[in-house]
Structure 1
Amino acid sequence: MNDSLAFDQSWYAATAHAAPAHAALASDCQADVAIIGGGATGLSAALHLAQQGASVMLLEAGRIGHGASGRNGGQIIPGLRLGAADLVARFGAEQGGALFHLALSARDLVVDLVARHGIACDLELTGHLTTAVRPSDLDDFAHEADAAAKLGYHGLSVLDAPAAQAAVASPSHGGLLDAGGGHFHTLNHTLGLARAAAVAGAQLHEHSAVTRLERRAGGVVLHTSAGRVTAAQAIVAGDALLGPLNARVHSRIMPVANYIVTTDVLPDGGAGLIPGNQAVSDSRFVVNYFRRTPDGRLMFGGGERYSPRPPADMAAFVRPFLERSFPMLAGVGIAHAWGGLVSITRSRLPDIGRDGPVLWAHGYSGQGAVLSTLGGALLAEAALGDESRFTPFAAVAPSGFPGGALLRGPLHVLGMLWYALRDRTG
């Protein structure tokens, strides 16, 4: 599904560190845990399992990091798609607070892994700013900052319009600054996780698509075109690219395409656009998001598209949204344009769970840049018998989409039309 989304034309591919190739699975073998998917979820699980002495076999259908973990916006946004206020309203202070703090730990986990394994991924902990597209958003921001503070998190601050416009040279009514946020090179981060997992003893295989997941007494068997992996447990970490391999998991997510560009190198390196070098997104449901790159470009993603099919010209599709956010960049050259699939759930909470020997984590709903690494760690802990951090998410697993996979496409089109109208009318 990602084949038409121009990964090789991405800024990430152009600036990635050299990484070793991993041979395709070519024979039958055994492992304690078999993992489907070579993104941050699968690699984090592989790393944490191997560090605890488990034998791990990871199977990636394409190349390591060529899914969402190697092409997303690289924005470090602490927490979940649902903020502290929504979590407490939905689940109460105790359960909602536990979910909130568990999600916050994803940021610290990524920072720790980057430092511990020497992952060179341009990590910038400069904050994340959400800009207000409606005056009423400021009330919501104040409510969120207050709810987070009551749960013990004091990283949020509300900016008035002058302060927000000083932080980012884009029209807005104000902003919500999260001091815990930032950004990084998501592909280099993923490749770094792969290197660390391999050093720890995990076996990684690229170009090894799993065609069937078979349950047997005492475990599972993963089938590929060239071999099989027999394991006591399997971790399904394919997210939006999983396809119908596991019907339960597949029914809980809706794959949505998203498109990103980087501009030509800007005369001031983008310093005049985002002086503090924060990661930025706006308050629309169909979010626009952007940040500076280390080589002096603006990376910009988002825009409304009512069809799941990719546009013929991704740069031309994204340009009007970029220029609306930054009128001074009208006509700017676009150097890279690419797309990727994001998986969303009905509740906008990740789907993390297990069914006997099969565990999974996916559906990060646009927050997966760091949540995916946490998801893999939670799966590893559960596979090793400790479900204390796994259970809070499993307890709030989202339900499937009405009509299953058959109606998700039409639902996506209707939903995008509705939320685009809501973004315009408030």
Structure 2
Amino acid sequence: MLDEEARTEGFNEMALKFSEYYKGKIQIFPKVPVRSLEDFSFWYTPGVAAVSRKIAENADNSFEYTGRWNSIGILTDGTRVLGLGNVGPEAAMAVMEGKSLIFNVLGAVNAVPIPIRVRTRDEFVSVARALEPAFGGFNLEDIESPKCFFILEELQKSLSIPAWHDDQLGTASITLAGLINSLRIVGKKHEDTTVVLFGSGAANIATAHLLMAAGFRGENIIICDSKGILHPEREDMDQLMLNNPWKYRLAMITNGERRKGGPEEAFRGADVVVSAAKQGPGTIKKEWIRSMDRDPIIFALANPIPEIWPSEAREAGARIVATGRGDFPNQINNSLIFPGVFRGVLDARAKGVNFKVMVAASYELADYVKEPTEEKIVPTMEEWEIYPRVASAVAYETASQGLARRSGSKEHFLKVATEMIENNRRVYERMLSEGLIKPLPGTVRK
């Protein structure tokens, strides 16, 4: 455990050093040739007026004549950043820049970080609606619960572009992908599997809905939060009905056995635990894992410190252990999902996204691992081929659901996404090799 803690502190020190050196992770750079001042006559005035008139005839023309088709806004109010909590929009900018970097490197998506200073959920929705003409989609990020549920729901109803809250939908999608392969390894069926969702914030609320959309039975899902197991007779149900109706509705359709009590009762006999609770170690106890059914599956997803160290979970009998960290096997990280999802919705010029689209993305990701093992249930971020594959599955399913402005075969969308991502990678690698992007301080460029 000391080695694991020291490694975490080392990453913290490097992050501070490198962030101060580069002073930002992204920049805007032209994509069109400018050979002389005359070229501005068609890139800007007077020629650009014709483009504006064309778009004024039909707003959807903005997807064909401007960069809107490949641009998204990353919106946050900084109220729930990583494991830090409410640090404010300025502090959230560092995380949003990192998100933008991943979007571009892995998905060839132009993602603009937009931390906003708003006081209420309605103000957040108003800002997003006002920004809609500039983007082909919104990635919502690091928004406290239950505010995030209202914002996502309102934006999905009112916008003509996809709204995706990565802490909900991204985490749920990669979790489902990991569970698909984990259950293949232990030989259990979705409909017979008892899943404990430990923690009931944004991630696990969305995971509950996605699991049901993928064939898990609601009565076999047990949600346990800081007050214990969620069930219809719990004393805070009236309060939840008013303040968190999303959690209240799940109390009505999950936990068919009507279990009561705390984690000890929730874990007993369960097949799977997906934890999105407070950081550990020690949040999940070894004895709870020992009480589970054969071949326990533990997803301890708190960052940066998981609820239980993987070595301890295995000592307690866990067959498969996953965390949110890349320095352990089986990283359950949104970065495997969201670049491909947004590549897909942008290629389809999508108007929205739903749970069926997310299930398709999760299966595409899981199926990429041809022979899953206890140490490899999902791909890694280095296997870049997964991103065009997820993109094609998302674009095709979006079109099938009637949510797209463009249609095509899965093969067509795979070709489009692959070309986009490959071209972007070539440009980026060329900039690195020629020193246009400075090497890390203290290293020599190869």
TM-score of the aligned structures, taking structure 1 as reference length: 0.26
User: Highest Rg: 1 or 2?
Assistant: 2
Structure having the larger proportion of residues in helix: 2
TM-score of the aligned structures, taking structure 2 as reference length: 0.25
Structure having the larger proportion of residues in strand: 1
Q: Which has the higher contact order (CA 8 A, sep 6+)?
A: 1
